Amino acid sequence: MSRPLLLTCLALAGLVLASVSIGAASVSPWHLLSDPEGTKLLFLSRLPRTAAAMLSGASMAVAGVIMQLLVRNRFVEPSTTGTVEAAMLGLLAVTMLAPGVPILGKMGISAAAALLGMAGFLALIRRLPPEEPLMVPLVGIIYSGIIGAGTTFVAYQADLLQYLGTWMNGEFSGVLAGRYELLWLAGLVAGLAYLYADRFTIAGLGETASIGLGLNYAQTLWIGLVTVSVVTAMVVVTVGAVPFVGLVVPNIVARIMGDNLRASLPVMAGMGAGLVLASDVLGRILRFPYEIPAGTIFGAVGAAVFLWLLLGPKRRAR
């Protein structure tokens, strides 16, 4: 086990312990296990909430690095390319037109909308000059804003702004056993990306170089896009959007470990899980006994890191 992965696992273990201990009913883990009501609280609320935060963070971090490799730009992720906003638009459409659709059906429609949103983004950036890499995230932010504005308008007309607000801010206070299990599927889909880690790394070299190395570039591209859209839809449907996870985590890990995706992907998943879980724990502490959504906290910190990545010193090539 590499040192970064070991440190990530140790930090994650400490955060898990803090997460199951902190809440409106603040008791020690030993008391939670010895008291029948505490045990019920642990297995119905605290552990599902902790697992939901970890799965959301890990899967969004993996989705972010896949998108960065396919787009060949370090400054993109689902929330800055219109993917999250398109997923919310699809979820809003199915809520308005067919509210009785099962949760898996809503997820499928949301994933299809996210895939269409990513296709639109890819069509846009093909027209951008390759010597201006900063244009890609800027166009993505504008593109996301347009889709988000249209979604907000439709939600306002349909009196569904409250639902939209829930989907826009990732928060875990409502997570209970039986209401988050879809995220395990998101984690599984993200985990399958490890099997294609080498292919995604080669795809990051560009279409011409990838084909020259014998890679089926089109197939790899679609596998990556479907993975990102499915993970994004599952997270949005279950807990709402958690912005900048897929941007911040891959860049931090790449600066430490380089661009070998097979070696760095477990660290990215662990760091994404830990940072989202830390945001959730911090949200429970800052205004105790009230809560601040984890998506709000991570969004504020992630925006600052995003600006630092854009304007700060460039990382050394490895």
The superfamily (CATH) of domain 59-311 is ABC transporter involved in vitamin B12 uptake, BtuC (1.10.3470.10)
Instruction: Tell me how crowded residue 314 is: count the other CB atoms within 10 A of its CB.
Output: 8
Please state the domain extents for the chain: 59-311
Reported pTM: 0.87
* Spacing of C-alpha 130 from chain mean position: 27
Q: Which residue has the tokens 């970890």?
A: 54
CA distance 31 to 36: 9
Peptide bond preceding 289 in cis form (omega within 30 of 0) = yes
**What per-residue confidence (pLDDT) applies to 177?**
78
In contact, 229 and 155? CB cutoff 8 Å:
no
* 3-class secondary-structure state, position 1: coil
Q: What is the dihedral angle through the alpha carbons of 303, 193, 73, 313, rounded to the nearest 10 degrees?
A: 60
**According to the model, what pLDDT value does residue 26 have?**
59
Q: What is the pLDDT along the chain (318 residues), one digit of tens a residue?
A: 678 788 888 999 999 988 888 877 656 666 666 777 777 777 888 889 999 999 999 999 999 999 898 888 888 888 888 899 999 999 899 988 888 888 888 888 999 999 999 889 988 888 888 777 778 888 888 999 999 899 999 988 888 888 787 777 778 887 877 778 888 888 888 888 888 888 888 888 888 888 888 888 888 888 988 899 989 988 888 888 888 888 889 988 888 887 778 888 899 999 999 999 999 999 888 887 778 888 888 888 887 887 777 676 655 544
Report how far residue 277's alpha carbon sits from residue 298's, in angstroms, rounded to the nearest whole number. Answer: 10
